[in-house]
Amino acid sequence: MRDSIYLAWRYLRHHRTKTLLLVLSLSVFLGLPLIMRAMSHATQQSLLSRAEATPLLLGKKGSSLDLVVETLYFQLKGAEPITKADVDALQATGLALGIPIRTGLMARGFPLVGTSLDYFPFRKLRMTEGRGLAMMGECILGAEAAEALGLGPGDALLTSPSTLFDLAGVYPLKLHVVGVLEPSYGPDDAAVFVDLRTAWVAEGMGHGHQDLSSAGPDVVLKRKEGTVTANAKLVQYNEITESNVDSFHFHGDPSSYPVTAAIVVPHDEKSGVLLRGRFVDAETRQLVRPAQVVDSLNKQIFRFERVLRIVVWTVGLATAVMFVLVMVLSWRLRAEELRTMKRLGCSRWKAAQIMGSEIALMVGASVLLAGVFGIVMAQYGETWLQTLILRGS
């Protein structure tokens, strides 16, 4: 038997192009369903585990999927915001902890997430470098964002302008990186976290400027009855530092400022039920269970997977037919070779063993290749597929 395997191996090595093509075709045929299944399972689990770890979400009435995707995975979907007052009111019920989430801006390609300190222990995020947020103007980077940008504590990061050609719009805010989070293998890795008020400043709802009470005539248009009117020369700060942080302020009532959604963490099961009851008939707000929303998304993915499976099996069948055809043609072409083997004293059984070994080696190599590829994709393709699905939904 060993001799047969050796001869089969030498033959396959000699015809390496043909062998390689056949092995690759077979690998694709065998691997595709495996890869698809593994990745789909991993993605569904990953999506579901984050959703299940988020008890409830409070947001504006509308698409619950957009709300969940934007708040949990930081993919900008244009979910209508609620206000900070909604989060405060929720907190005031004493039934749950409300963690505000403000998305909408980017910082060098990574989503800028404005939130409160409660977010970090809630998601079990820990620092690997530096410290947590302490002052307005500071940011914490997710592990992936820090690595991609090559930034760490002590560095600075500019927010991306929301409208590139709007000269009168909001200018980028320079953020001070104070910490980097440990990898969490989720959307938090690719996010830039700031205090909620820093997010509002970055959006242009708050600002800091030089002290007008002591400003010179080149800046002041008029002073009248305790009111100072400044002209366009007034220096507005694009960076929050220890020396100018005092001058930053918000016009209007910050409780009316936008919050994309609030993660709602009920104190106990009863509180959760009571809260859900309060929002059943709410006209402009919704309290959704992310696990339910993601579950329905997973069902859609599963339906799509079934269609794909039919396509894959069709392609697989064609590949198998092609493989058989190639082998039959190959044996016909090798008729002279088989005759020579017979003249040398090789039995028909031995010849069949050699041919069988060739097929077994090729199928074996294809199975291995497909298996390795499937495992690697399940491990590393998860985030890629997750992003692909969420961006496309």
Partner 1 sequence: MRMARPAPARAATIVMMAAFVATVVGCSKKPDPNPAADPMQPAQTSIYAVNYPLSYFAERIAPADVRVVFPVPREIDPAFWKPSADAVREYQAASLILLNGAGYARWTSYATLPQAQIVVTADGCRDTYLRTERSVRHQHGPEGTHAHSDLAFTTWLDLRLAVCQASHIRDALIERMPTAKDSVSAGFETLARDLLDLDERLRNLGQALGNQPLLASHPVYQYFADAYGISIQSLHLEPDRELSDDDWKEVDAMLERERANWMLWEAPPLAATEARLRERGVTTVVVDPAGQSPSEGDFLSVMRANVARLECATGVKPCR
CA distance 153 to 180: 7
- Of 257, 259, 275, nearest in space to 267 by CA: 275
**By the rule CB under 8 A, 149 interacts with partner 1:** no
Taking CB under 8 A as the criterion, the residue among 202, 240, 355, 385 binding partner 1 is: 240
Residue type at position 366: S
Q: From the CB of 291, what's the least distance to partner 1, in Å?
A: 20
**By the rule CB under 8 A, 163 interacts with partner 1:** no
Residues 6+ apart with CB under 8 A from 306: none
CA distance 118 to 121: 6
154 by DSSP, 3-state: which? coil
Report whether 48 contacts 282 (CB < 8 A).
no
Q: Which is nearer to partner 1, 118 or 155 (CB)?
A: 118
Under rule CB under 8 A, which residues in 7-26 are in contact with partner 1? 9-10, 13
Q: Do the strands 258-259 and 156-158 form a parallel or antiparallel pair, or are they unpaired?
A: unpaired
Binding mask 199-218 for partner 1 (x = CB under 8 A): ----------x--xx-----
Among the residue ranges 61-69, 103-111, 141-149, 183-191, the one whose residues contact partner 1 (CB under 8 A): 183-191
**How distant is the alpha carbon of residue 11 from its chain centre?**
47
Q: Which is nearer to partner 1, 66 or 195 (CB)?
A: 195
**By the rule CB under 8 A, 259 interacts with partner 1:** no
Q: From the CB of 356, what's the least distance to partner 1, in Å?
A: 15
**By the rule CB under 8 A, 255 interacts with partner 1:** no
CA distance 45 to 28: 25
Under rule CB under 8 A, which residues in 23-52 are in contact with partner 1? none
**By the rule CB under 8 A, 230 interacts with partner 1:** yes
Taking CB under 8 A as the criterion, the residue among 34, 53, 148, 228 binding partner 1 is: 228
Residues in the chain: 393
How many C-beta atoms lie closer than 10 Å to residue 138's C-beta? Answer: 21
Handedness of CA 52, 56, 62, 67 (dihedral sign): negative
C-alpha separations of 129 from 126, 151, 152, 177 in Å: 9, 11, 8, 10
C-alpha separations of 186 from 74, 115, 181, 196, 212 in Å: 11, 17, 12, 21, 46
Taking CB under 8 A as the criterion, the residue among 21, 134, 282, 321 binding partner 1 is: 134
329 by DSSP, 3-state: which? helix
Under rule CB under 8 A, which residues in 353-392 are in contact with partner 1? 365, 368, 371-372, 375-376, 378-379
Q: Which is nearer to partner 1, 311 or 376 (CB)?
A: 376
Report whether 143 contacts 180 (CB < 8 A).
yes
**By the rule CB under 8 A, 192 interacts with partner 1:** no
Q: From the CB of 22, what's the least distance to partner 1, in Å?
A: 16
Q: Which is nearer to partner 1, 160 or 184 (CB)?
A: 184
**By the rule CB under 8 A, 124 interacts with partner 1:** yes
Q: How many residues belong to the site for partner 1 (CB under 8 A)? A: 59
Question: What residues line the site for partner 1 (CB under 8 A)?
Answer: 2-3, 5-6, 9-10, 13, 91, 94, 97, 116-118, 120-121, 124-127, 131-136, 138, 178, 182-185, 195, 197, 209, 212-213, 226-231, 234, 240, 242, 245-249, 251, 365, 368, 371-372, 375-376, 378-379
